[in-house]
Amino acid sequence: MDGHHFDDDATGTSGGVGAHLWLPEAGRLWDLGPATSDTDADGVGDSLSRTDAEGLTVFTDTDRDGRVDLITRVGADGEISSSTYDPTSGTWSAAKPGRLR
């Protein structure tokens, strides 16, 4: 045990394939677990979904940095809403539900 470590590539940095998704919120990062679906079919998992009594919530990392930046919520009544993350301000902002373009 001489204390040498080989950890230059072992920890910390983003971009890992198949890594956990992290949810930035209020200055913290929440570990959501590994991505379970690949919404843009590039072979890299980018989303996971959770269901609860109020509906379905999908967490998506759109730019593959490992941090969730899009939350889509589908209510039990079928209403869809979404929030996007602004990394420069560190805040989430809700998109208008039902907006057509």
* Site residues for Ca ion per CB under 5 A: 38, 40, 42, 44, 46, 61, 63, 65, 67, 69
Which residue number, 67 or 73, has a Cβ lying nearer to Ca ion? 67
Which residue number, 3 or 43, has a Cβ lying nearer to Ca ion? 43
Q: CB of 30: closest distance to Ca ion in angstroms?
A: 14
Q: CB of 1: closest distance to Ca ion in angstroms?
A: 39
Report d(CA 65, CA 61) in Å as an integer. 7
Residue 5 structure tokens? 């470590």
Q: CB of 51: closest distance to Ca ion in angstroms?
A: 21
Partners of 52 in the β-ladder: 55
Report d(CA 60, CA 70) in Å as an integer. 5
Taking CA 18 as the corner, what is the angle to CA 11 and CA 34, rounded to the nearest 5 degrees? 95
Which residue number, 37 or 51, has a Cβ lying nearer to Ca ion? 37
